[in-house]
Structures are given as C-alpha cells and as structure tokens.
C-alpha cells in the first residue's frame, strides 16, 4: 500500500463569494464532511497547508499583481475581475492554496508520500501572470511547476488539465518553456474561449507523448466540472470515470517518473458530484479500487472517439513522432 496525502483544511472555506457565485464555500462542505468520516480519514495522510511566501507566488506572478491581491484584505467584499470575487480573507486563503500545493509537491518529490490530492480553493488554472480571471487568484499548479524546477531540482514537469475549461493561464506561462509540458482536454468553446484543437492533444495521445517527454513529476489540474451533473458543464464524466482517469495517470506516472503525481482541485460546482468523484479518486489512489481502464474505454463509441483522436494525432504528429506508431 502506498502513502497518499490529501490537502484539506477549514481555512479553504474562508474565501467567501456571493451566494450565487459558483466558487462558493458550499462546494467543498459535503466533501470535507465525508473526509472527516473515520473510515475514510484513516485511508490517507493529511497534509497541513502553510502560507506560501511572497517569493514563491512571484515565481509566476508579477509584484504589482501580488500587491493588488494583498490589498483585498482591507475590503469586506471586492473583485479582482468581473467573475473573481474576494473578501478580506481571500488573499490569505489563496496563499494557503498555493502553500498546500507546494507542500504536497515537496512531500511527493522527497518520497515521503507516493502521490497527493490537493482539495483547496480558490482554483488557479485561469490566473495569468498579471491578473485574476475565472474564479482563480493565484495559479497554484503553475507555481508548483516552477517551484519543482527552481527549488526542487527537477528538469521536466508535465501538467495534465482535465477541467471543463481550458487552462489558459497555465498554458500562457509555459508555452515557450520546453521544461514544462501542458496537456489539456476541455470542452471547446466553453470559457475562456481558448484551447482549440491545434493547442491540445488524450490513452492513445497522452501516454506516448508522456513517455517521450519523460517528466520527473506530473501535476494534474483536476476539474470536476466535467461531471455530468455539473451546472456549468456539458460533459458526462461519472465518479467511476474520475477513478479511471486517476488510474490512467497513475500508470503513466509509474512508467515515467517513479509514480510522482499530485492532483489539484480546479473546477467542480455540484457539491455532491464533487464529493462523490473526489472520494472515487481517493479510493483509487489508496488502492481500495483499481479501475480497468481498457475495459472502460471499450465502452466508448469507437466512431466518435476515433474521429476526435485521429484529428488530434494529425495535428500533433509533426511535433511528436511517437504518435505515428
């Protein structure tokens, strides 16, 4: 049995938005209640999140933007963008979302844990170097990628983003950096409207490219808004599907980077669906279940699946010869 770490803390409920806002504390409450169940709690190791230092946040964000976020601590209610709302606790909570992500990565890289799941908010993958957007304040996964390279000595990091929405912030930060590979599957043209087929590549796609890239760490922007019951989405992933995705990524990580993988919460706005899906992932990570990915994939419509995959391969084979095999 491998050691699985989970970042979760009541502090992540202190980032308060309007009652009608999708990224409201209520989206984590059912999941946290289930994590408190002694039967579930003893399956994993709790990772206590620290507050990220300024220099860690500044690995990808500008000083002026960091100061802008810090200034929200003086306002009971404010907004960093039209859809990214804040309260007087939001800066502290966002810095602890970064801190929890970094601590999970540190423990996985050090071998203290085999892998980890970060269940923090606010999410991060839309946040750009100089601005917030899409409910995201600091780009947790991007900061984690840079810290893994700059502070932990890793040469190559792969980021896999399965959120409903394209992780524009993460892509923009690394699209000219050959040491970070960004792989995104998302529903186009949903928000933010970026991420056309020519910008993306997923068992026939991700596995051969990951083998070629040889990452030393895999970070996953795990968006639960691809669940069929999510109010913002149009995809149909089930908790069993999230278990299958987790098993697939674990397999790739074992082949390429000694199993080092950290999954980080991004979207997911149906609280019960999020709780069910995250628990399915924890069961997979802790060995309570072991999904047969091939059997699951065999249930897909081959006509529709092949049409999409073949187009992706045609687009990306000029960059990755492994896709021709």
Q: For residue 99, give the nearest of 138, 69, 154 by alpha carbon.
A: 138
The DSSP line for 113-136 is: SSEEEE--SS--TT--SS--BTTB
State the DSSP code for 77. S
Residues linked to residue 5 through DSSP beta bridges, in sequence order: 45, 116
Tokens 């900061």 locate to: 143
Q: b vs e for 127-140, b when ≥16 Cβ sit within 10 Å of the residue's Cβ?
A: bbeebbbbbbbbbb
Q: For residue 219, give the nearest of 134, 136, 158 by alpha carbon.
A: 158
Contact criterion met (CB below 8 Å) for 107 and 50:
no
Measured CA to CA, the distance from residue 22 to residue 156 in angstroms comes to 34
Measured CA distances, 190 to 194, 218, 232, 235, 315 (Å):
8, 25, 9, 11, 21
Measured CA to CA, the distance from residue 235 to residue 238 in angstroms comes to 10
Catalytic site residues?
126
Token pair of 231 as six digits: 């109010």
Tokens 């959120």 locate to: 163
Q: For residue 9, give the nearest of 44, 38, 36 by alpha carbon.
A: 36
Measured CA distances, 154 to 25, 105, 257 (Å):
34, 11, 11
């Amino acid at each position: 049995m491998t050691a699985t770490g989970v970042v979760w803390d009541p502090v992540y409920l202190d980032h308060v938005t309007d009652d009608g806002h999708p990224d409201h504390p209520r989206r984590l409450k059912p999941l946290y209640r289930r994590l408190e169940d002694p039967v579930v709690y003893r399956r994993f190791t709790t990772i206590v999140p620290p507050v990220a230092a300024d220099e860690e946040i500044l690995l990808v964000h500008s000083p002026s933007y960091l100061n802008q976020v810090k200034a929200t601590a003086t306002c009971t209610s404010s907004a960093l963008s039209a859809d990214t709302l804040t309260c007087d606790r939001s800066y502290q909570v966002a810095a602890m979302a970064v801190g929890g992500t970094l601590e999970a990565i540190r423990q996985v890289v050090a071998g203290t844990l085999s892998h980890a799941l970060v269940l923090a908010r606010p999410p991060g993958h839309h946040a750009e170097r100089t601005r917030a957007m899409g409910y995201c304040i600091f780009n947790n996964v991007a900061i984690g990628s840079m810290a893994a390279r700059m502070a932990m000595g890793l040469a190559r990091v792969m980021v896999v983003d399965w959120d409903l929405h394209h992780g524009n912030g993460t892509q923009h930060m690394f699209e000219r950096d050959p040491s970070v590979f960004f792989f995104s599957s998302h529903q186009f043209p949903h928000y933010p409207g970026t991420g056309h087929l020519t910008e993306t590549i997923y068992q026939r796609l991700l596995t051969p490219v990951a083998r070629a890239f040889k990452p030393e760490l895999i970070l996953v922007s795990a968006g639960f808004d691809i669940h069929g019951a999510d109010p913002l989405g149009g995809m149909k992933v089930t908790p069993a599907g999230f278990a299958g995705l987790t098993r697939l990524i674990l397999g790739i990580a074992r082949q390429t980077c000694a199993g080092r993988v950290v999954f980080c919460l991004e979207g997911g706005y149906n609280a019960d669906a999020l709780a069910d899906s995250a628990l399915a992932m924890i069961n997979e990570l802790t060995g309570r279940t072991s999904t047969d990915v091939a059997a699951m994939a065999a249930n897909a419509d081959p006509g529709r699946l092949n049409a999409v995959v073949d187009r992706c391969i045609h687009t990306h084979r000029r960059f990755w010869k492994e896709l021709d095999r």
